[in-house]
Structure 1
Amino acid sequence: MHETRIQNDEARSLRERLLAHDPFRCLSRRELDSLIGTTVRLEARGGEILFNEGDPARYCAVVEMGEIAGVRYTESGDEKFFCSHGPGRLVALTAAFLNGSGYIMSYRTTLPSRVFGVPSKQLRVLAEANGPFAARLLEQTSERLQRTFNQVDFFTASSAEQRVAAFLLQLYEEQGSREVRLPCRQKQVALMLGVREETVSRVLSDFRREGVLAPGRSPIGLQDLDFLQQLVGPQHGALTLGAL
Structure 2
Amino acid sequence: MIPIPPHSQPTSHAPLIELLAQYPLFAGLPPEVLARLAEGAWAQSLGAGETAFHEGDSATHYLLIVTGQLEMVRFSQEGDEHVFQSFGPGSLVADAAMFMQHGRYPMSSRASSGPLTIWRLSGAALRATCENHPPLAMRLLQRFSLRLYHRVNEVEWLTSSTAQQRLAAYFISLRKQQGDELSFPQSQRHVAAQLGIRPETLNRLLADWQSRGWITGSRRKWQLCEAEPLERMAEGKARPF
Q: Distance in 1 between matches of 2:107 and 2:69?
A: 16
The AA in structure 2 aligned to 1:103 is: Y
The CA deviation at 1:102 is 1.1
Once the two structures are superposed, the pairs formed by residues 157-236 of structure 1 within 5 Å of their partners are: 157-174=160-177, 176-236=178-238
1:123 aligns with 2:129: no
1:142 aligns with 2:145: yes
Indicate the SS of the match to 1:22. coil
Indicate the SS of the match to 2:106. coil
Q: Distance in 1 between matches of 2:119 and 2:133?
A: 22
Q: Distance in 2 between matches of 1:51 and 1:21?
A: 23
Instruction: Determine the structure 2 residue equivalent to 1:107.
Output: 109
The AA in structure 1 aligned to 2:137 is: A
**Bigger strand fraction:** 2
Q: 1:133 to 1:181 in 2, by over 3 A?
A: same
Does the CA contact (< 8 Å) of 1:82 and 1:192 recur in 2?
yes
Q: 1:164 to 1:131 in 2, by over 3 A?
A: same
Q: 1:142 to 1:87 in 2, by over 3 A?
A: same
1:5 aligns with 2:7: no
The CA deviation at 1:26 is 5.5
1:24 aligns with 2:26: yes
The CA deviation at 1:76 is 2.6
Q: Distance in 1 between matches of 2:32 and 2:217?
A: 54
Q: Which stretch has the larger CA shift, 213-222 or 130-139?
A: 213-222
Q: 1:40 to 1:237 in 2, by over 3 A?
A: farther
Does the CA contact (< 8 Å) of 1:70 and 1:81 recur in 2?
yes
Q: Distance in 1 between matches of 2:125 and 2:219?
A: 45
Instruction: Determine the structure 2 residue equivalent to 1:61.
Output: 63
CA RMSD of aligned residues (A): 2.1
Q: Distance in 2 between matches of 1:74 and 1:3?
A: 31
- Find the partner of 2:82 among 80, 83, 87: 80
Q: What's the TM-score, normalizing by structure 2? A: 0.89
The CA deviation at 1:234 is 4.9
Instruction: Determine the structure 2 residue equivalent to 1:242.
Output: none
The CA deviation at 1:208 is 1.1
Q: Distance in 1 between matches of 2:179 and 2:223?
A: 9
- Regions of 4+ moved over 4 Å: none
Q: 1:152 to 1:219 in 2, by over 3 A?
A: same
Q: Distance in 2 between matches of 1:75 and 1:197?
A: 20
The CA deviation at 1:84 is 1.1
Q: Which stretch has the larger CA shift, 135-144 or 213-222?
A: 213-222
Q: 1:188 to 1:30 in 2, by over 3 A?
A: same
Q: 1:238 to 1:194 in 2, by over 3 A?
A: farther
Q: Distance in 2 between matches of 1:130 and 1:109?
A: 33
Does the CA contact (< 8 Å) of 1:6 and 1:39 recur in 2?
no
Does the CA contact (< 8 Å) of 1:81 and 1:191 recur in 2?
yes
Q: 1:2 to 1:70 in 2, by over 3 A?
A: same
**Bigger helix fraction:** 1
Identity of aligned residues (%): 32
The CA deviation at 1:238 is 7.5
Q: Distance in 2 between matches of 1:101 and 1:210?
A: 50
Q: What's the TM-score, normalizing by structure 1? A: 0.88
Count residues in correspondence: 235
Instruction: Determine the structure 2 residue equivalent to 1:156.
Output: 159
